[in-house]
Amino acid sequence: MVEKKNINIDNNILDSIMLGFVFAVLTVFIVEHFSTYSYIPNLGKPIISYGGQVIRPDSFDTSITPIGTLYQTTPFGTKISLPTNGMMCSELIFKDSDFKKYSNQVVLYFKAVFRDYKYLLLIAFAYTLLNLFFKRYRFTLS
């Protein structure tokens, strides 16, 4: 007859894991606020010179030039391609545009948190270890 063995998991460990994950999500979410946005304007057909080189104009009107591609680069180095939805280049430049509103950007920050899942898990692991360490050991000054 095989005797069953019990595996006991301390409640502090599960609490530390959950707390570490919550703190990691908050930390990565705050760091994502330092993301940068870059775009490539859609200038239509490029002008090709006789030498076969592509020549693009150095200046263009941002109010009538649509965005061709839009990227969000997170502080962790992840480059995320975003939908342009017919936006004009001026919407990324002016502070009062719909794109610059926090209610619109918070969605992008939240999605970026889970695109940087490697860092999220790494930070959660670090917070969990710190939490378990300080639950086990107390520092006192005398």
* 92 touches 99 (CB < 8 A): yes
| Per-residue pLDDT tens digits for 30-40 | 999 999 988 88
Report the domain count for the chain. Answer: 1
pLDDT at 17 > cutoff 80? yes
H helices present in the chain, as ranges: 11-31, 90-93, 102-115, 117-136
**pLDDT score recorded for residue 130:** 93
Closest CA to 40 of 84, 101, 97: 84
The average pLDDT across 60-72 equals 83
Query: Does residue 104 fall inside a structural domain?
Result: yes
The token pair at 132 is 């378990």
**pLDDT score recorded for residue 23:** 96
Query: Does residue 6 fall inside a structural domain?
Result: no
pLDDT at 73 > cutoff 90? yes
* 69 touches 39 (CB < 8 A): yes
Q: Please give the residue range of the domain that contains residue 128.
A: 11-133
Query: Does residue 119 fall inside a structural domain?
Result: yes
Query: Does residue 138 fall inside a structural domain?
Result: no
- Token pair 């950007």 is found at 105
Query: Does residue 121 fall inside a structural domain?
Result: yes
Q: Which DSSP string do the residues of 55-95 spell out, in sequence order?
A: E--S---TTTPBEEEEEEE-TTS-EEEE--TT-BTHHHH-T
| Per-residue pLDDT tens digits for 35-57 | 998 888 887 766 666 666 665 66
pLDDT at 112 > cutoff 90? yes
| Per-residue pLDDT tens digits for 84-108 | 888 888 888 777 788 888 888 999 9
Query: Does residue 55 fall inside a structural domain?
Result: yes
Query: Does residue 75 fall inside a structural domain?
Result: yes
Of the pLDDT bands very low, low, confident and very high (cuts 50, 70, 90), residue 139 is confident
The average pLDDT across 57-85 equals 84
Tell me phi and psi for residue 105, to 5 degrees.
-80, -25
* DSSP designation for 126: H
- Rounded CA Rg of the chain: 25
Query: Does residue 41 fall inside a structural domain?
Result: yes
